[in-house]
Amino acid sequence: MVLTEINVDDLNTLMHFRIERLLHLFTSSLPHCLIQINAGELLAIHCPSSAVVDDLLDELEDLCQHAWLILGVHSIAVYFGEEEILRANTYFQ
C-alpha cells in the first residue's frame, strides 16, 4: 500500500477541522472569540466581552479536557482586551 505524504496544506486542513470540532462543542462561547494556537502548546482565546469570559470560566474544566483531547495543547490562556485573565493546564495528572 502506497501512502501519500502529508503536506502543509493537509496539516492546516486537519487543524481547521479540529478547531471546528472544538467550536461545535462550546457553541455558546467560543464562536464569538478569536482563537490562536501558539506552537501547538497554547490555546489563546481572545474574548470580545466579559460575558463570554464568564461563560468560558464556567466551562473551564470541560474546555481544558476537550482542548487537550482534540487539539493536543498543553495549556489555555483566556484574554479580555489585552489582559490575560486566566492560564490553565489542559490535562490533569
The pTM for the full model equals 0.86
pLDDT digits (tens, 9 = 90+) for 19-53: 999 999 999 899 999 999 998 799 999 999 999 99
Residue that wins the pLDDT comparison between 54 and 5: 54
∠33-35-46 over CA atoms, to 5°? 50
- Indicate whether 68 pLDDT > 70: yes
Q: Residue 91: its pLDDT value, please? A: 77
Q: Residue 40: its pLDDT value, please? A: 75
- Indicate whether 75 pLDDT > 60: yes
Cβ atoms within 10 Å, residue 22: 19
